[in-house]
């Protein structure tokens, strides 16, 4: 589904990604871990072609198509979703309006309002989200945990092919982490894939993770299974840093 080949990228004049290779297939959950400043969040932004970053070498292929030069909205329409470390507040736009607009943009078809409302209502029930939130302005006045759960609601409702979760578990309490984990399990199926970027193993506890990658200084230095995450949790990254 996603193939990244010998990728180099920079922000302004600083090279951050330095020869990164990664392949994600359908029906897989991948995890990227690494020390601060390793390039984890930069990678997720580059996949979505955030204009703050520039690819200097290599290519990103999604379902066989080079997406290096596509605009962010075009990449999203092809089926890539990204949650944010710090979700933005959007005054004046309700959650219902955002989801309806995004769904219409992705499918290119008019949304059946009754069916769509039922789908959102069902997803909110599964995630134990207050039903009143759907008519509130996006993330305005939400707690950190509520914002993160809202991103999982968006993921379930928009149903992308590849979901990139950039430190969605950051700053969450135990109950919120369980909600995010549940949402990932509800989303995951044989036709999609998940890329989790995290500092912690707490989110991974109840997930069937296929691969864990250690990212240091802009490239993946080791790949393993879920046991690798446990090793990092116990020993840190010193073994992989220079």
Under 8 Å between Cβ of 29 and 209: yes
Q: Where residue 96 sits, what CATH number does that domain have?
A: 3.40.50.300
What residues make up the domain containing 35?
2-240
Residue-wise pLDDT for 132-165, tens only, equals 889 999 999 888 888 888 999 999 999 999 999 9
Distance, CA of 199 to CA of 61 (rounded, Å): 26
pLDDT above 90 (res 179): no
Q: Is the sign of the CA dihedral 198, 199, 205, 210 positive or negative? A: positive
Residue-wise pLDDT for 105-130, tens only, equals 988 888 888 999 999 999 999 998 88
Query: Is residue 199 very low, low, confident or very high in pLDDT (cuts 50, 70, 90)?
Result: confident
pLDDT value at position 70?
Answer: 96
Residue-wise pLDDT for 62-95, tens only, equals 999 999 999 999 999 999 999 987 888 999 999 9
Residue-wise pLDDT for 10-27, tens only, equals 998 899 999 999 999 999
pLDDT value at position 175?
Answer: 83
pLDDT above 90 covers a percentage of the chain that reads: 67
Query: Is residue 58 very low, low, confident or very high in pLDDT (cuts 50, 70, 90)?
Result: very high
pLDDT value at position 242?
Answer: 66
pLDDT above 80 (res 100): yes
The total domain count for the chain is 1
């Amino acid at each position: 589904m996603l193939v990244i080949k010998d990728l180099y990228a920079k922000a302004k004049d600083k090279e951050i990604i330095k020869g990164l290779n990664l392949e994600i297939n359908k029906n897989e959950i991948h995890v990227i871990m690494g020390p601060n400043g390793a390039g984890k969040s930069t990678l997720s932004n580059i996949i979505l072609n955030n204009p703050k970053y520039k690819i200097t070498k290599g290519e990103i292929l999604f379902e066989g198509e080079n997406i290096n030069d596509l605009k962010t909205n075009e990449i999203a329409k092809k089926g890539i979703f990204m949650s944010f470390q710090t979700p933005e507040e959007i005054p004046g736009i309700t959650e219902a309006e955002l989801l309806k607009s995004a769904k219409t943009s992705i499918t290119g078809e008019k949304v059946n309002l009754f069916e769509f409302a039922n789908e959102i209502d069902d997803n909110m029930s599964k995630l134990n989200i207050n039903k009143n939130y759907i008519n509130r302005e996006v993330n305005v006045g939400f707690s950190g945990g509520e914002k993160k759960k809202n991103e999982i609601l968006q993921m379930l409702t928009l149903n992308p092919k590849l979901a990139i979760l950039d430190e969605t578990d950051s700053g969450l309490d135990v109950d919120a982490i369980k909600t995010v984990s549940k949402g990932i399990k509800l989303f995951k199926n044989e036709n999609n894939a998940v890329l989790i970027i995290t500092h912690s193993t707490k989110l991974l506890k109840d997930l069937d993770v296929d691969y864990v990658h250690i990212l240091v200084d802009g490239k993946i230095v080791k790949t393993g299974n879920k046991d690798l995450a446990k090793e990092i949790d116990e020993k840190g990254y010193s073994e992989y840093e220079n």
